Structures are given as C-alpha cells and as structure tokens.
C-alpha cells in the first residue's frame, strides 16, 4: 500500500485548490517525509457536500449492512497493521510497539461498533390514553465533522469514525497538521474496504489554513455535528463557532489527571502503573498522570522503586524496537516541556532525575524526568505537562489528597492505588473526573465510555453511549388508533 498525500473526497484523491502542499516532518530525525495537499475552505466545503450526498444511501442501509462494512475496515486495517504503524511512528514519533498497539486498539472500535450499531434501540412509552401509542426511535444526525489530534493519529479518528458510521452518519475528517499521513492511509483503507464514496472524507491542511478549514466545518449548514479531540482553548473556540448553526458538539479536551498512591497500595503495581500512564507516548496523552501524590509512609520506598524503573527506560527513535521514550512531536512542544520543568524548579520543585534534552539523539528528545516536592500552584501541576515528566508530592491524609486532586478545572481521568475497599469506593465516588482507574492505569477501551467533565469537555466515545453523539432521539406519538 502506498502512502497517499492528497485529500480524499467522495472516493477520489484531489490536490488542494491551488495545488499547494505542506511538509510532514519526522520528529526523530527532522527529515521531511512527505508533502501533503494543503486544503482550504473551498475543498472542505466540497468534502462536506460529498458527505451530504452520500448520507441518504448510507443511512438507508441496515445496521447489519453497515456493520459488515465496518468489519471489512477492521480486516483491511489489521492486514496493513505494520505499514500503518510505521507511518504513524515516522510522523508522530511514538515507539513502534505503541503504534502497533494503537492500530489494534483502532481496529477494536470497528469491531465493537459493527455490532453496537445493531443495538441502537428506541423504546416504547406506556400510552397516556386509549388509542394512543408512544415510541422513540434513534436517527443518524447527518454529516459529522471530525478534528483530530497528533498524539493518537489513528486511535482518535477510529473512535469517531466507527461510531458515526455505525449510527448511519457520513463524515469529514480534518487530521492534525503534524500527522496527516496516518489519516490518509486510513482513507485508503476505507477505500479498499469498499466504503461507499463520500461516506468517509479526509481534508488535510497546514497550520496556516487550520482556521479557514475549522470555520468551514463549524459553520456549514450541512454539518450536523462536530466531534473534536484537542486542547481546551481550541475546543472552546470551536464550540462557540458551532453555535451559529446549532450543531451537536462533542468535546474531548485536555486533562490534569491526579495519580494517588496510598499507604496500603501494592507499591510495585503502582510504580508499573505510573510508568505506563506517565511515559506512554512520551507523556503526550490527555489522560496521562499529571499530579502524582504519594502518601508519606510509603513515599521513600515508592520513590526508590520509581527512580529505578525510570532509569531503565530507553530513550531513542521510535523506529528502534527497544525504545520506550521517543521524540517529542515538535519544537513548540519540547520548548513547552522545558519551560514547565524550569519554572517548576524556580517555584521550589526538586529535580530528581532528567530535566534536559538528550541532544546526542537530536533536538526533540527529552529525558524521562522526575520532579519532587512539587507544591500546588507550581507550573507542573497547574498545566498539562504533555511530556515525560513525573511531578510528585508527598501527602498525609486521604481527604487532603482528594481535595487537592479535585482542585482543577479539568476533569478527564484520575487514578488511585489502594487495597482498602472502603477507600477505593470513596475515591470512585468523590473524584470529580469522567473516568477513574483504581489500581488500573489504562482506562481506554472500546467497551467503556471515554470522556471528561468540566473543562475537559463532554460526550462519550466507545461503549453503547458512543452512538449517542451521532443519533438523535425522535419521539413519535400515535393517536386515534384502535384501542385493544
């Protein structure tokens, strides 16, 4: 399978309006790996029209027929897993072993929604009088627009496309400017899987065109809903823009996840959980542990084990098989990580490990880092670090830890390690986040509802709830029927 570089609209490949392109850079080497069509508002509008034209026939298919096509997408995706994983690692940097997991994760959503689409049930409501019948049915909303991020170039897109297609919607995807190739490879996979023309469309664009393309997606009257995964600031602006056409909006925004380790926790389990949560994708995940709180009695032991585990992490290019922590996506992001580390140290945090770039590997590699003595209001806790930096503080009482964990305007994910049944329920109940992992760092799976609250957004991806974003509930009232 070759790697396409043009936009994919109504089943065909197109250059951008003026045949302009933008470069895609390998973050590990700094090399340009491809030039991709730099689409603007006009081509985006063309893609929306294509999706709108494809909608009537797609929604009229039975859920089973759509499910069969979803299964075909899964099959072609898995057949090309190695190829797609390599593209992903080349453009977003992440270790190849993680890219492979992401392909399998993405395929699982097509599997899940191929079946879940057949369970988009309505309901019957007990009638309010003789000769009446009252029912609800679920209908697809129409064209769905997707704006997706670079940190999971396939996973975030797959979660949205699988649910929307199962519901009977068609879609237009705008991938992140750093990682358009994975999305275009996905378009080719949809094409090869026999997805009808216009059902899935992809319009890549550079940073320069992002506002034009975003505005078109948010304001076009034929777009029924926008699903966005990205930063809170951009999410808020898109949410406001969607109000002019009263679109359905789904927002999966940034997090600031607490990771709390209590005195009675299994320390080895907590350390391995933290490594998985914090250093996966070099810390560039929205659900990564950001505020790490460790209770005083086990603090020293925990820190010893954590330091040992972090020193074992291998930093290197994502394509090397034993790499654990790979290149950071771009210059802006690595500069941001450096700034947060520097500011946090100036504000009183202690640097226990790392803290600088690994310049022998190239300009975008950052050492796995541990900061201790981090206090509230320090940059590493106030901001989403989005890098391989564990910021840790000691706490005494469980109520203090819960209060501090909740003291954020974000509400995506939270984690806690304890073997105390009473405490584990108290945490599940009182942590104000959309997802809580107890003795479990990996919460995202197709079977469960992924999503946040507060400034982390609203709406769910995956599970039976994932279909809700793409359907509306129609109420039908029958009167004057023959009473039984």
Residues assigned a catalytic role: 252
Rounded distance between C-alpha atoms, residue 192 and residue 213, angstroms: 27
- Of the pair 80, 232, the CB lying nearest ligand ADP is at 232
Rounded distance between C-alpha atoms, residue 478 and residue 241, angstroms: 38
- Of the pair 230, 387, the CB lying nearest ligand ADP is at 230
Q: How far is the CB of 241 from ligand ADP (least distance, A)?
A: 8
Binder to ligand ADP among 230, 411, 441, 452 (CB under 6 A)?
230
Using CB under 6 A as the binding rule, whether residue 98 contacts ligand ADP is answered as: no
Q: How far is the CB of 211 from ligand ADP (least distance, A)?
A: 5
- Of the pair 231, 373, the CB lying nearest ligand ADP is at 231
Binder to ligand ADP among 27, 93, 214, 355 (CB under 6 A)?
214
Rounded distance between C-alpha atoms, residue 290 and residue 391, angstroms: 7
C-alpha distance from residue 367 to each of 46, 312, 388 (Å): 45, 12, 7
- To the nearest 10°, report the CA torsion of 170, 193, 1, 16: -20
Using CB under 6 A as the binding rule, whether residue 236 contacts ligand ADP is answered as: no
Using CB under 6 A as the binding rule, whether residue 211 contacts ligand ADP is answered as: yes
Q: Are 230 and 253 in contact (CB under 8 A)?
A: yes
DSSP string, 63-125: HHHHHHHHHHHHHHHHHTHHHHHHHHHHHH---HHHHHHHHHHHHHHHHHHHHHGGG---EEE
| # of chain residues touching ligand ADP (CB under 6 A) | 14
Query: What does the per-residue mask of binding to ligand ADP show for 126-165, with x meaning CB under 6 A?
Result: ---------------------xxx----------------
Rounded distance between C-alpha atoms, residue 441 and residue 257, angstroms: 11
Q: How far is the CB of 214 from ligand ADP (least distance, A)?
A: 2
Between CA 291 and CA 100, with CA 433 as vertex, the angle to 5 degrees is 75
DSSP state of 17: T
DSSP state of 450: B
Using CB under 6 A as the binding rule, whether residue 40 contacts ligand ADP is answered as: no
Q: Are 452 and 410 in contact (CB under 8 A)?
A: yes
- Of the pair 152, 415, the CB lying nearest ligand ADP is at 152
Mark the segment that binds ligand ADP (CB under 6 A) among 120-128, 132-140, 209-217, 457-465.
209-217
Q: Are 330 and 177 in contact (CB under 8 A)?
A: no
- Of the pair 32, 211, the CB lying nearest ligand ADP is at 211
Binder to ligand ADP among 234, 313, 352, 453 (CB under 6 A)?
234
Using CB under 6 A as the binding rule, whether residue 210 contacts ligand ADP is answered as: yes
Report 315-344 residues binding ligand ADP (CB under 6 A). Answer: none
Binder to ligand ADP among 176, 294, 380, 413 (CB under 6 A)?
176
SS3 360: coil
- Of the pair 193, 337, the CB lying nearest ligand ADP is at 337
Question: In 3D, which of 342, 335, 345, 261 has the Cα closest to residue 305?
Answer: 261
* Residue ranges that bind ligand ADP, judged by CB under 6 A: 147-149, 174, 176-177, 210-211, 214, 230-231, 234, 237-238
């Amino acid at each position: 399978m070759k790697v396409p570089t043009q936009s994919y609209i109504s089943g065909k490949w197109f250059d951008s309006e003026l045949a302009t392109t933008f470069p895609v850079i390998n973050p590990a080497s700094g090399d340009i790996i491809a030039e991709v069509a730099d689409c603007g508002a006009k081509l985006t509008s063309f893609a929306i029209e294509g999706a709108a034209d494809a909608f009537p026939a797609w929604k009229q298919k039975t859920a089973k027929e759509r499910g069969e096509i979803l299964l075909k997408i899964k099959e072609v995706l898995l057949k090309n897993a190695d190829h797609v994983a390599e593209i992903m690692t080349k453009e977003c940097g992440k270790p190849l072993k993680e890219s492979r997991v992401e392909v399998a994760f993405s395929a699982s959503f097509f599997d899940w929604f191929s079946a879940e689409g057949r369970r988009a049930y309505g309901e019957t409501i007990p009638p309010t009088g003789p000769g009446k019948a009252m029912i609800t049915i679920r209908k697809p909303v129409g064209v769905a627009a997707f704006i997706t991020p670079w940190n999971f170039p396939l996973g975030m897109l797959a979660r949205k496309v699988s649910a929307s297609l199962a519901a009977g919607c068609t879609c237009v995807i705008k991938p992140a400017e750093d990682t358009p190739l994975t999305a275009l490879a996905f378009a080719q996979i949809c094409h090869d899987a026999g997805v009808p023309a216009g059902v899935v469309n992809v319009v890549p664009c550079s940073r320069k065109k992002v506002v034009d393309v975003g505005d078109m997606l948010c304001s076009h009257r034929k777009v029924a809903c926008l699903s966005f995964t990205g930063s809170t600031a951009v999410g808020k602006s898109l949410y406001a823009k969607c109000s002019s056409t009263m679109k359905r909006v789904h927002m999966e925004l940034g997090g600031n996840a607490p990771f709390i380790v209590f005195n009675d926790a299994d320390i080895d389990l907590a350390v391995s959980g933290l490594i998985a949560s914090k250093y996966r994708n070099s810390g560039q995940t929205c659900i990564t542990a950001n505020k790490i709180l460790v209770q005083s009695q086990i603090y020293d032991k925990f820190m010893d084990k954590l330091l040992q585990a972090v020193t074992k992490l291998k930093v290197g290019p994502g394509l090397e098989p034993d790499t654990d922590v790979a290149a950071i996506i771009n210059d802006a992001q690595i500069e941001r990580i450096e700034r947060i580390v520097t500011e946090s140290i100036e504000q009183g945090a202690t640097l226990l490990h790392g803290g600088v770039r690994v310049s022998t590997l190239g300009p975008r590699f950052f050492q796995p880092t541990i900061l201790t003595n981090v206090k509230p209001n320090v940059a590493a806790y106030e901001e989403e670090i989005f890098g391989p930096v564990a910021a840790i503080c000691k706490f005494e009482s469980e109520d203090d830890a819960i209060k501090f964990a909740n003291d954020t305007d974000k509400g995506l994910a939270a984690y806690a390690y304890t073997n105390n049944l009473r405490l584990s329920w108290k945490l599940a109940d009182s942590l104000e986040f959309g997802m809580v992992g107890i003795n479990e760092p990996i919460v995202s799976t197709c079977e469960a509802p992924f999503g946040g609250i507060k400034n982390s957004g609203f709406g769910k991806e995956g599970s039976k709830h994932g279909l809700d974003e793409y359907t509306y509930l129609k109420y039908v009232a029958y009167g004057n029927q023959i009473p039984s």
